[in-house]
């Protein structure tokens, strides 16, 4: 159980740091140039610049991952559920990004797998917690 919790924390830290950093950069520079994004990527989307996508990264992925880390560290009884939800949010954001923008790259597949891994880790920890509670 401890190993899966530590692995979950490590992955959540990766998700939080990446999304807080890139989201903040996109908010500061909505053109996307500071993070190597071309404005042409937004063609066909509902966004004129990267300002709103930056906020989505900061809030939905970065801050939510930090909140989930706190729950895991405090061993909150609901932390496996929040790990699963974080994985679903990561995967949903990546899939929506791929559909809207119509492109794909290594990082999108990496975070898609990261989200899937979070879901599996959360489900495994939920089963372990449930089994431990039922054994009493």
**Which of 22-26, 60-64, 130-134 has the weakest average pLDDT?**
130-134
Across the range 108-132, mean pLDDT stands at: 93
Listed residue (83, 81, 60, 62) closest to 6, CA to CA:
83
Give tens-digit pLDDT for 23-55. 999 999 999 999 888 888 888 788 899 999 999
Helix (H, G, I), strand (E, B) or coil at 118: helix
| Residues in CB range of 53: below 8 A, 6 or more apart | 23, 26, 47
Give tens-digit pLDDT for 68-92. 999 999 999 999 999 999 999 999 9
Q: How far from 66 is each of 13, 17, 33, 82, 83, CA to CA, in Å?
A: 7, 9, 27, 11, 11
Sketch the domain layout of the chain as residue ranges: 2-134
Task: Work out the pLDDT band at 136, boundaries 50, 70, 90.
Answer: low
């Amino acid at each position: 159980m401890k190993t899966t919790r530590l692995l979950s924390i490590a992955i959540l830290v990766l998700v939080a740091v990446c999304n807080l950093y890139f989201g903040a950069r996109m908010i500061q520079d909505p053109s996307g140039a500071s993070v190597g994004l071309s404005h042409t990527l937004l063609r066909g989307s509902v966004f004129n610049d990267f300002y709103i996508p930056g906020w989505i990264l900061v809030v939905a992925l970065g801050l939510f991952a930090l909140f989930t880390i706190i729950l895991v560290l405090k061993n909150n009884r609901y932390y496996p559920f929040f790990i699963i939800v974080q994985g679903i949010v990561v995967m949903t954001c990546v899939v929506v990004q791929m559909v809207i923008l119509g492109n794909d790259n290594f990082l999108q597949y990496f975070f898609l797998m990261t989200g899937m891994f979070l879901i599996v880790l959360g489900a495994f920890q939920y089963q372990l917690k449930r089994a431990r509670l039922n054994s009493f």
